Amino acid sequence: MRLILSLLLVVLYNSFSVHSQFSVGGFGGYQLNSRAIVGVFTEYSLDENWPGSIRTSYYYTFPYSKLGDETPALKYAGTDTEVSDYYTQARTKETFKHNSISIEYKQYAGDADASTGGFYGRFIIGLTFSKVTREWSPMEISFYKMKYDLFTITQLSLNLGAAMGYEFQLSDRFFIYGDILGILPFIKLQANSKEYDGFPEFSLGLQLGVRYQLF
């Protein structure tokens, strides 16, 4: 029994070391709704002649903000006078922070594969952990700033997307790539607010990255 298990392990090891390919890399990109993204990934293909691979990625979105059109009704203590009566041009601002992980299937076109590069498509499914803070600043001058934090939303979302691009082989192990990435609207899984719906809608973006094949 031990001999059989030993032979099986040897066969699996030889098959993995000869036929499989494992790569690591990093990327940066920009979604058209003001989201700048960076991240890292690992990529694994079962066989050097198999035109597909499995990729796991981590995405970090740089915090970004958008202005709203809401003027909160805040009143001076002990009176019926609203603060907004004096600051009619003030608007709310929401600041977004996202961290995402994903599993992706990457399919090369034609005769291309992970060892040569070429045209490819990526199909993405992931989870995004988000935090949104809404604030209101009715007064902001050089020596004084008045700011109200109105609420903070945390949300776990499901993300689906796809990308198409081209990968250039620079050496036996080093590749660079660029693609056009589309992300569908966030699908809410869990949140501390049932009514908030300000998370990103469908967006298109560009992504550039590098991939290094370890073996």
Could you read off the pLDDT of 10-51 as tens digits, one per residue? Answer: 444 454 444 567 888 999 999 886 688 899 999 888 665 567
Cα-Cα-Cα-Cα dihedral sign, residues 139, 140, 144, 150: positive
Q: Say yes or no: domain 21-213 is CATH 1.10.287.610.
A: no
Domain positions in the chain: 21-213
Structural element, H or E, at residue 4: helix 2-19
Buried residues in 152-183 as b, exposed as e (16+ CB within 10 A):
ebebebebebebebebebeeeeebebebebeb
Q: Name the pTM for this structure.
A: 0.73
Tokens of 215: 């073996």
Q: Please give the pLDDT value at position 144.
A: 55
CA distances from 21 to 15, 57, 91, 172 (A): 11, 17, 53, 12
